[in-house]
Structure 1
Amino acid sequence: MAELPLADYARTLTGDIQTLAEAEDGSIPRTFTRWALEQLEESGFVSNMTVAYHSGHGVMVYGFGYSDDRSVLDLYTTAFSLDPMVDRLTKADVTRHYRRLLAFLQKAGSIRGNFDQPTEVHQLCEGVEKLLSNASKVRLFLFSNCESAARTQPEPTEFQGLPVEHHLWDLARLYRHQTSGAASEPIVVQFDPPINCLSVQSVEPNLSVTLAVVPGRHLAELYEEHRTRLLELNVRAFLQARSTVNRGIRLTLLNEPGRFLTYNNGITATATAAEFVEDAEGRRVGIRSLTGLQIVNGGQTTATLHHVFKRDKKDLDGVSVQMKLTLMGSDDLMAIVPSISRYSNTQNKVTLVDLSANDKFHVEFERVSRTLWAPPTTPGGPQTRWFYERARGSYAVEEAKQQTSIVARRKFKAENPAAQRFAKSDLAKFVNAWSGLPHLVSRGAQKSFAAFQANVKEQPPVIDADYCRRTIAMGILFKEVDKVAKAHDAGSHKALITAYTTARLCEETGRRIDLDRIWREQQVSDAIVQAAHDLCPLIMDMVIQEGKHVTEWAKSSKCWEEVSRIPWTVPEELAEELLARPVEFAVDTREEEEEQLSRLKQIELSEWEMLADWARETRALELAEQQIATTIAAKLATNATITAAQVRKALEVYDNAIEEGFSAFAP
């Protein structure tokens, strides 16, 4: 796989951010901040983030975020350069940016008093103050498209008794993150002293299973440090809106900590590498470290341990947790982890099997979308592609392949504009907004994507050219509404207002907006834009309410119910161009049909023949049902093709016959 040199990556990133800022009519540093946060949110480093800018004497901040349980407060700042390979971040620069964030934290109350309630700065300060009162930790993030000359991060400090961590995402780290192709940087865990284990080598190559016991406090501290990154491959962790606390687990930890190992099933984990302690005979008897640790089952146990440790202030001494650890290569994760999660889980059925880029939906969407050329936006103009970035960094990798000449590189950029690049989380956002799920979009990239993936699993669409074109058209619609929200000064809540305005627009029109026309014209009609302008202020009044925590309010289904009841009718100009019927997408039933055919063939030929005879003799079934049983028996006898419709009908007849008393084993 070709790799993009750091200097080329810097130029590409800087140019892309400039293009995005121009398209969104926003400032370059602010656009870069939002872009960086979207990358980190998708990987689980940050959550619930808000981009909002304020600068004053000794103060500069570009936004804030917080963990789902509100125990961690994040502050963001940015250092962006138009010439990143010349400008470098010195240690003094890094220290100054962190100091400005802490100064804002110190002065947020007084700054808020200088701005009226509706303003972005007032909401920024108010949000940070509320979160600070409940936080147990503060994290400071510095994003930059320059390389840092500082070899080490500042030592952890304190603010009003709260521990403060520093997280620098400079050019080199962003480059590694973008081109790694992995969900995120691997989690490395040290055990000092090593934990005892029993290891068994599998007959499968590059696969081994180890049983171990982990101190409960160590697991709670791991969750405190890594949060949802520790659960990236845990299906349920994606689906939960916030970490839930199991009452039974909590009571055991509080009242009978010594019996936790006896009562609890423990956790199932994976790792890509491990350092073991071996005895004199070379047997693995302890674990010193793990690389790429992921908890694929037991997320609720882990979250509850953390809750008791942090909220209930219990030290968890004497608490031990059983761990079944599977060591495997990173290439095997997506093939094996879904099955581990499914088979090891005994609490609830897991329906969301795989959130990865290797899921067949995303592979097929990428394959089909890469064959599509968007119509030119001007007569005789160039055709372009919408580049679906199935695996993070694939755009940069494809661009790297064009480094043979400047002409080839320019051609790639012209045919695949940065503004037309979209990732899995973007795809989920577009479809969820179209489908009337803005509250899920508002919960962030991970949870929005999880809901989308669950829906795709439940009703898999037929991935053809029409599906891809219409889905991209949803994206064009979403982006246009985003411009409308910006024009109405939605500020730091623009993303929420965009999702809700798009959803209400689609809902009120009965999803009869002509997506094929949007694709053909590569833009939305003036009537849609005007309708969005009419609707947007009404949405803002409902979503951005004084006295409500806007970000949390927007995540609730109650907010969507209220927005759905806002009095608003489709303007006549837009009504005239709507389709006669809602846009429909064909459902891919091949997997279901294969399962039904398999079930039908598991019923012996003799049983179908007996059923046909029984139906004629008892007349318990209609004539048509008698005939389908006879037909199936004949087709099975001659190995003839059975259509999907015949399979469905035959199984219905069989089930009806069982209910009416048929039994192949009756005397």
Structure 2
Amino acid sequence: MDLQEFRKELLEEVRSTASAYGEGSSAAFVGIVSNYLVNAEVLPDFEAAFYHGTGIRNRKLRIDGYALDEFDYTMNLIVADYVGDDKERTLTRSEAEHIFEWPMRFIDETYNNNLQRKVEISSAAADLIDILRTNRGRIRKYRILLFTDGYMSGRIESFPVKEFEGIMVEYQIWDVERLYKIFLAESGRESIEIDFSAYSEKGMPCLDTSKLGENPYRSFLCVIPGTLLAEIYDLYGAQLLEGNVRSFLSTKVAVNKKIRETILNAPQMFFAYNNGVSATAMEVVIQDTPEGKFITSVKDFQIINGGQTTASLSNARYKDKADLSLISVQMKLTEINTDLDEAYNLMEKISRSSNSQNKVSDADFFSTHPFHIRIEQISRRIFAPATGGAQHDTHWFYERARGQYFQAQMRMTKAERNRFLNQNPKNQLITKTDLAKARNSWRGLPHIVSKGAQANFSEFAQWVDDEWSKSDESFNEKFFQESIALYLLFKHVEKLITQQTWYEQGYRANIVTYSIALLAHLMKSQYPQHTLDFQIIWNKQEVPNVITNQMKIVAKAVHDSLTDPSRAIANVTQWCKREACWNRVKTLPLSLDSNIESVLIDVDNAKSVARIARMDQKMVTGIEAQTKVVNYGAEYWKRLQTFVAEKKVPYHLEEESLKIACQMPVKLPNSVHSQKLLSLLNRAMEEGWNEE
């Protein structure tokens, strides 16, 4: 897919989304681009908040959405430049500078001219104003993102960082070409490239610790000035931190206090007291000089341990006016030069090991969790029923890694790509955050879903990790089909709400998750011996009319409750994040129509079907394990046997299985033996076994 094809598909997606959801094309465009940037970890989340008005001296104000990153208190404000014309156009520097002024005026009017008096109190824009006013003393940076369906002029290289009332303001243009580059990137996110020679004449001194021979990585020990680390963080913010551990890092408040004390009271001892940071990069450029080796630049730089150290240095310099000139930080930098899947696996292993001094669950490293891999495998294997007169079945494509769907198409011919899209249509792409929203809504956690993609996914990952440890067989084809049914329900309710006369273009995401959660709650309380028959939705690949009619009633009641003036918190967006909000919604006096019984199934029957699905998964898991063990071959297991004996890795439970594997093909391990062997293999890898 080239750039022109990408733009054409983007515009088509905007038009179809606007038509399906009954919203303006500009709003659809902002929502789609924001979703791209959330998945690429440029934005922590997204809240739609359209406002178009005037301030003092009749100056124009405009906002299309926002996202407050509570990790580093960057306020992201979004403004759109959408025309929707198939003809390509160019956004000039002067046009961009003019548009950038609109959200800045919005901020100024909010703080200095009582803009809240002009805005409807129950609108999303009013919530944004409230968030700006409440967090005025915390916000460290404003980032203005201009979304355009045109192309940025070649004369635009960058926009100078400005200040508003002493706070840094950064400007970014996200045009079609910049979005396209995200999809071309192997990591599925915008690559962070740092030129260290711009900060120091020779770059950053380092010691190359790589072993001789062919390895998928090189490692360097570095000493990075505290000032430089803070400046890099100020420029890139939380984008610099590897996403899978970011939410984990942000909870360790006590660590922040200790680091801050050292920065302020003993900066010269920082190197000795602090564990330093661990980072990865896809490319490291080294310059050899008579004085030694220096790192001049890195590509796709990510900090995978030491996020609190990095953020604390920046915070101390900003809030406490701390002098960082005496501070040096040790850094371990690993260059990963391998394919996409191997890169993810290696990053996760480094991240897990680097964070071993803290208690970190498997949920914190969810991208390589076995659940993730299994759902991907099922999604590639199982076909969804054909719909709409189509003569072929299709897959629901589950994205285990960012950008996987587009990466799969990059090296295809046009004919191959057409076949791929016929079998994996874009509207049947489901991401891990999509799955988390749909599942957590049905689980009765709308207040968690309302907290945003990152917080919601973290909770979902922890639940999966807990359930997996009890019985991984529960995550099977039936679970996948139910998940797709819930996602279909989620998307259906999204469209349904926009068509209602009472809908006022605000809080749709909150209304959707609360409505689905309330439907599940009402079914459980009013029909305790029954549950929703997800197979009906899966088989038809659509939501039955009886559910649609019921959801119209439920969604209206939810909307009225969320926006009720008597709510405990005036800010609707913040109110929806509270469990008290959910407790209040659950008390709504609603009764389901008796027609709903046609889509319910007896609980005992559902349990019977689930039991069969678990047995089937157990058999599949055994076959997969057996295949993997046999493919490794007897010599592999003989070498492993020697390794675990030398390392004194306990393996008495697997001893018989290992003996059988070493005798292949005379003897073959069964599925039970094979699963034991794979468990032993994982323990051996933790002890340093890395032979493939």
TM-score range, shorter chain: 0.7 to 0.9
1:663 aligns with none
CA contact (8 A) 1:48 1:68 kept: no
Distance 1:403 1:84 in 2: 24
Contact kept? 1:244, 1:303, Cα under 8 Å: no
When structure 1 is superposed on structure 2, of 417-426 and 205-214 the one drifting more is: 417-426
Query: Residues 422, 28 of structure 1: CA spacing in aligned structure 2 closer, same or farther, 3 A cutoff?
Result: farther
CA contact under 8 A between 1:338 and 1:353: conserved in structure 2?
no
Residue 561 (structure 1) shift: 4.5
Query: 1:10·1:85 contact (CA, 8 Å) conserved in 2?
Result: no
1:634 corresponds in structure 2 to none
Q: Quick check: 1:219 aligned with 2:233? A: no
Deviations 1:151-177 (A, max 9, x none): 223322222332211110101001111
User: What residue is the counterpart of 2:142 in the other structure?
Assistant: 138
Distance 1:244 1:387, change over 3 A: same
Residue 397 of structure 1: how far off its partner (Å): 5.4
For 2:98, the equivalent position in structure 1 comes to: 96
Matched, 1:298 2:298: no
Letter of the structure 2 residue corresponding to residue 50 of structure 1: E
Provide the C-alpha distance between the structure 1 equivalents of 2:655 and 2:186, rounded to a whole number of angstroms. Answer: 50
Matches within 5 A, 1:636-651: none
Corresponding letter in the other structure for 2:513: A
Which whole-Å CA distance do the structure 1 matches of 2:194 and 2:412 have between them? 39
Is the aligned partner of 1:189 residue 2:194?
Answer: yes
Please state if 1:267 is matched with 2:271.
no
In structure 2, the CA distance between the partners of 1:430 and 1:148, relative to structure 1 (3 Å rule), is same
Aligned pair partner of 1:515 in 517, 534, 546: 534
Shift of 1:515: 0.9
1:489 aligns with 2:503: yes
Q: Distance in 2 between matches of 1:376 and 1:410?
A: 17
Cα distance in 1 for partners of 2:330, 2:167 equals 32
For residues 551-590 of structure 1, what are the structure 2 equivalents within 5 Å?
A: 551-575=573-597, 577-581=599-603, 584=610, 586=614
Matches within 5 A, 1:248-647: 248-280=258-290, 283-284=292-293, 286-331=294-339, 332-344=342-354, 345-352=356-363, 354-356=365-367, 361-378=371-388, 384-396=394-406, 404=414, 416-458=424-466, 459=468, 460=472, 464-486=476-498, 487=500, 488-489=502-503, 491-510=505-524, 512-544=531-563, 545=567, 547-575=569-597, 577-581=599-603, 584=610, 586=614, 602=652
Report sequence identity in percent: 27
* Partner of residue 34 from structure 1, selected from 27, 31, 40: 31
| Gap regions ≥5 residues in structure 2 | 55-59, 525-529, 630-643, 657-666, 677-692
2:202 equivalent to 1:201: no
Matching residue of 1:114:
118
Assess if the C-alpha contact under 8 Å between 1:372 and 1:385 holds in 2.
yes
Q: 5+ unaligned residues in a row in structure 1: which ranges?
A: 607-638, 649-667
- Bigger radius of gyration, 1 or 2? 1
Give the AA of the match of 1:168: I
Q: Which amino acid aligns with 2:205?
A: N
Cα distance in 2, alignment partners of residues 326 and 600 from structure 1: 31
Q: What's the offset of the Cα at 1:348? A: 1.3
Contact 1:84-1:147 within 8 A present in 2 as well:
no
Aligned partner (choices 57, 76, 79) of residue 78 of structure 2: 76
What is the Cα deviation at residue 113 of structure 1? 1.9
Contact 2:90 2:151 in 1 (8 A): yes
Paired position in structure 2 for 1:177: 182
* One-letter code aligned to 1:169: W
Query: Is the Cα–Cα contact under 8 Å of residues 70 and 134 in structure 1 kept in the other structure?
Result: no
Change (3 A) 1:237 1:529: same
- Equivalent in the alignment of 1:652: none
- SS of the equivalent of 1:56 reads strand
Q: Are the equivalent residues in 2 in contact too, given 1:355–1:453 (CA < 8 A)?
A: yes
Q: 1:187 to 1:600 in 2, by over 3 A?
A: closer
Is the 8 Å Cα contact of residues 188 and 293 (structure 1) preserved in structure 2? Answer: yes
1:272-297 C-alpha deviation (Å, 9 max, x unpaired): 2223342439x52x333322222222
1:16–1:418 contact (8 Å) kept in structure 2: no
Tell me how far 1:550 sits from its aligned partner: 3.6
Q: Write the deviation string for residues 339-381 of structure 1: whole angstroms up to 9, x where unpaired.
A: 222223212134236444x765445434433454443545678
Q: Is the contact made by 1:431 and 1:474 (CA closer than 8 Å) also made in structure 2?
A: yes
Q: TM-score, normalised by structure 1?
A: 0.80
User: For each residue in 1:603-640, what CA deviation from the matched residue of structure 2 results, as whole angstroms up to 9, or x when unmatched?
Assistant: 5999xxxxxxxxxxxxxxxxxxxxxxxxxxxxxxxx99
1-structure distance, mates of 2:408, 2:279: 34
- Separation in 1 of the partners of 2:210 and 2:295? 15
Aligned positions, number: 605
Distance in 1 (alpha carbons) for counterparts of 2:98 and 2:404? 35
Whether the aligned pair in 2 keeps the contact of 1:64 and 1:128 (CA below 8 Å) is no
Give the secondary structure class of the aligned counterpart of 1:602: coil
- What SS does the corresponding residue of 1:212 show, helix, strand or coil? strand
TM-score by length of structure 2 reads: 0.77
Structure 1 residues 122 and 451: alpha-carbon distance in aligned structure 2, compared to 1, 3 A threshold: closer
Say whether the 8 Å CA contact 2:20–2:495 is kept in structure 1. Answer: no
Q: 1:353 to 1:126 in 2, by over 3 A?
A: closer
Once the two structures are overlaid, the 10-residue window that deviates more, 105-114 or 250-259, is 105-114
Preserved CA contact (<8 Å) 1:120 1:492: yes
Name the CA shift for 1:568/1:89 in 2 (closer, same or farther; >3 Å). same
Contact 2:72–2:237, Cα closer than 8 Å, also in 1: no
Indicate how the Cα distance of structure 1 residues 462 and 110 shifts in structure 2: closer, same or farther if over 3 A, else same. Answer: same
